């Protein structure tokens, strides 16, 4: 049986793997996040994080075509060198 893996699922897996590698989420939350119906999971600090970028953007009222401005972008614009942080 051939299954086609969608781009959004690959992006979700990549996003959640990065969070797991940074130890922002636990192994249990990581396994939950790989379910296609899971919307959010708990972080180690007790917060919630969206599993899918598009769900996050929809929740905050952003259009998918709008650019994402990250903290690193804001620091770069302000002239702050983030490589000096521990």
Q: Taking 60 as the threshold, does the pLDDT of residue 71 lie above it?
A: yes
pLDDT tens column, 2-23 = 577 788 888 899 999 999 999 9
pLDDT reported for residue 2: 57
Per-residue pLDDT at 81: 62
Q: What is the extent of the structural domain holding 40?
A: 7-81
Asked if residue 40 belongs to a domain, the reply is yes
Confirm whether 68 is domain-assigned.
yes
How many domains would you assign to the chain?
A: 1
Residue closest to 25 by CA, chosen among 7, 37, 12, 36: 12
In a domain, 50, yes or no: yes
Digit-coded pLDDT (tens) for 21-66 = 999 999 999 999 999 889 989 989 888 898 888 888 888 877 766 6
Cα→Cα distances 55→29, 65, 74, 86, Å: 17, 14, 23, 31
Is residue 16 in some structural domain? yes
User: Has residue 86 been placed in a domain?
Assistant: no
């Amino acid at each position: 049986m051939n299954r086609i893996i969608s781009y959004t699922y690959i992006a979700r897996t990549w996003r959640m793997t990065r969070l797991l590698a940074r130890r922002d989420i636990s192994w249990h939350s990581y396994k939950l996040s790989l379910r296609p119906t899971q919307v959010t999971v708990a972080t180690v600090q007790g917060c919630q994080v969206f599993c899918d970028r598009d769900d996050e953007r929809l929740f905050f009222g952003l259009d998918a075509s709008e650019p994402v401005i990250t903290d690193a972008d804001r620091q770069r614009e302000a002239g702050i060198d983030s490589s000096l942080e521990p």
